[in-house]
Amino acid sequence: MPDMLQGVIVNYRIGPKTQRPRECLIRPLGIEPKMAGSLIGWRVGWPADEPRIRGKVLSLHGRRGVLRVRFERGVPGQALGSRVRLYKRGEKRRVEATR
């Protein structure tokens, strides 16, 4: 499995009467749904090209490979449908050092 992947923000995590802007559902790109469970604990950055809001993969959402991610602060509505960067813990520092 690569050290860095991309994903798409599908939606906020919602309830019957609530919407949680700090938690989002993300579909990883280029990975089989059965392998999505191995991404638990990975870090997430939005937007993908220059991450300003960071988060962590908490768990799976359903059986189709969608991930539940909690960000450090609320994600704006413009982020829905946009790409995020998924990377292993500690990999971000190594990526920035190579730029």
Give the domain ranges of the chain. 4-97
pLDDT greater than 80 at residue 92 = no
CATH 2.40.10.190 fits 4-97, yes or no: yes
Distance CA 32, CA 57 (A): 17
Mean pLDDT of 21-36: 96
The torsion region of residue 93 among left (phi > 0), alpha (psi -120 to 50) and beta comes to alpha
The pLDDT tens digits for 37-87 are 999 999 999 999 999 999 999 999 999 999 999 999 999 999 999 999 999
User: Model pTM?
Assistant: 0.86
The b-or-e profile of 31-41 (16+ CB within 10 A means b, else e) is beeeebeebee
